[in-house]
Structure 1
Amino acid sequence: MTAVTSAGPRALEHRIRRAIGARSDTAGAVQIRVHRIAQDVAAAAAPPLDSPKQIGRAIKRVVDVLGSIALLILLSPLFLLIALLVKSRSSGPLLFGQTRIGEKMKPFTMLKFRTMYTGADQTLHREYVTQFIKSGGQGLQSGPTGLFKITADPRVTPIGRVLRKTSLDELPQLWNVLRGEMSLVGPRPALPYEVEQYQAWHCRRLVDAKPGITGLWQVVGRSRTTFDEMVRLDLRYAKTCSFWTDVKILLATPRAVISGKGAC
């Protein structure tokens, strides 16, 4: 694992610009304080390889690999059923690949079952994300909303609404976990145009832990949290994470989804 400080602020600044500029569909110059963010990110030094934290990371990776393989096998009938429903209800690809910003500001393609009609415009969601972050968590529409999810989104297919409500659209991310791009438990993966709106301290959530399918905010706050509260929960997880913390979060996730507090 490469330490953050080995890249230095200048290299990190280039990586951030590339990740949220060239690798995203955002047009024009990226209007963020990239230099300040790079300085803040580079200040987070990685612990020695033999430290308890690094040992914990190694254990977490083993659990991620074994867990993702087991779940991919056990849930294969459900994968097949969802695939048939998605393909039979609307035209287009089965999976939706979206650029997200991962650990150490590295972009990767996160997989989901497609829940929108093909060719859906992302402008509405981009505007919603911008307002959500800047307004402290107030959505564009009244009524219950999930984090960065818009109520009664016309771009979403009928089966897509069910998949989102139950978070079943997230299941293909098990492949991202197996590839090492994500973890079973961790902070929510950030969107490139979301990072454009970040304050410097927000970027700590992209440094301190690998993004996960589920996480502390999903089981504690979910749709009831503001953006800043979500970031604080992610930072709290990164600071206190352990094997047993991950187990508790994994066990609590189904209840959070079933209770209808919002979808990831």
Structure 2
Amino acid sequence: MLIRAFDVVFAFSGLTLGAPLLLVLYVLGLLDTGSPLFVQERVGWKKKPFKLVKFRTMNVAAKSVATHLANADEITRFGHFLRRTKLDELPQLWNVLRGEMSLVGPRPCLFSQDELIAERERRGVLDARPGITGLAQVNEIDMSTPQLLAETDQKMLNNLTVSAYFRYILMTVLGKGKGDRVNHDH
């Protein structure tokens, strides 16, 4: 309950105080791709689908696949900047405010990622709200290693305290973790 309260306060504050930055990024995204927001159905809390919102970092024509399967050549120049600074994640504060996500939790995957979903179900990971960041993200463990990711998510959830919650957020803000890998072999 306490973590949910922090989520609401931080998401509301971030959306309110960050509104000018969000507007600038939206306009720059509009100039970059013509479609600044990326909305994708993801696996949510208790395996319920929800629409995750991010700033678009890839061409509009890019296939909607897990990041580690995406073609790096489809990332725009502005998209590289958004990914490097993690600013592409800011619209997810809306998902946090709506209760679909937490600031800290397992990254939500696609319904097509059967192996990861099965691993997470086995470990009870899907019983938690998905998050923007967490133990896996700050340790650069992404969805290309489903078993390791599910194990790391379970470890994080089993040991998630208020201090760990703040530690993961701080580590992310300070640049720990590079985000999901993209396929450079295309």
Using the TM superposition, give the Cα deviation of residue 149 of structure 1 relative to its aligned residue in structure 2, in angstroms: 6.1
Q: Residue type of the partner of 1:74?
A: L
Using the TM superposition, give the Cα deviation of residue 121 of structure 1 relative to its aligned residue in structure 2, in angstroms: 2.7
- Shift of the 205–78 alpha-carbon distance from structure 1 to 2, 3 Å rule, reads farther
Identify which of 180, 201, 211 aligns with 2:99: 180
Using the TM superposition, give the Cα deviation of residue 62 of structure 1 relative to its aligned residue in structure 2, in angstroms: 1.0
Using the TM superposition, give the Cα deviation of residue 248 of structure 1 relative to its aligned residue in structure 2, in angstroms: 1.0
- Shift of the 190–199 alpha-carbon distance from structure 1 to 2, 3 Å rule, reads closer
Distance in 2 separating the partners of 1:162 and 1:105: 32
Which deviates more from structure 2 when the two are superposed, residues 233-242 or residues 202-211?
Answer: 202-211
Matching of residues 156-195 of structure 1 within 5 Å: 156-194=75-113
Number of aligned positions between the proteins: 179
- For the 8 Å contact 1:98–1:111, the answer to whether it is kept is yes
Distance in 1 separating the partners of 2:117 and 2:130: 19
Matched with 2:171 is: 252
User: Which stretches in structure 2 are left out of the alignment for 5+ residues?
Assistant: 181-186
RMSD: 2.3
Deviation per CA, 1:132-168, whole angstroms, max 9, x where unpaired? Answer: xxxxxxxxxxxxxxx6265x62222211111112211
- Shift of the 110–75 alpha-carbon distance from structure 1 to 2, 3 Å rule, reads same
Q: Secondary structure at the match of 1:192?
A: coil
Deviation per CA, 1:173-201, whole angstroms, max 9, x where unpaired? Answer: 0000000000011011011111x234743
Matched with 2:14 is: 71
Using the TM superposition, give the Cα deviation of residue 232 of structure 1 relative to its aligned residue in structure 2, in angstroms: 1.2
- For the 8 Å contact 2:119–2:147, the answer to whether it is kept is no
Using the TM superposition, give the Cα deviation of residue 103 of structure 1 relative to its aligned residue in structure 2, in angstroms: 1.2
TM-score under structure 1 length normalisation: 0.62
Q: Secondary structure at the match of 1:99?
A: strand
Distance in 2 separating the partners of 1:120 and 1:149: 11
Matched with 1:197 is: 115
Distance in 1 separating the partners of 2:117 and 2:7: 30
Q: Residue type of the partner of 1:197?
A: E
Deviation per CA, 1:52-85, whole angstroms, max 9, x where unpaired? Answer: xxxxxx1111111111011112212211221121
Matched, 1:262 2:178: yes
Question: Percent identity at matched positions?
Answer: 38
Identify which of 50, 59, 68 aligns with 1:148: 68
Matched with 1:106 is: 48
- For the 8 Å contact 1:208–1:235, the answer to whether it is kept is no
Question: Which has more radius of gyration?
Answer: 1
Q: Residue type of the partner of 2:179?
A: A
- For the 8 Å contact 2:105–2:130, the answer to whether it is kept is yes
- Shift of the 222–201 alpha-carbon distance from structure 1 to 2, 3 Å rule, reads closer
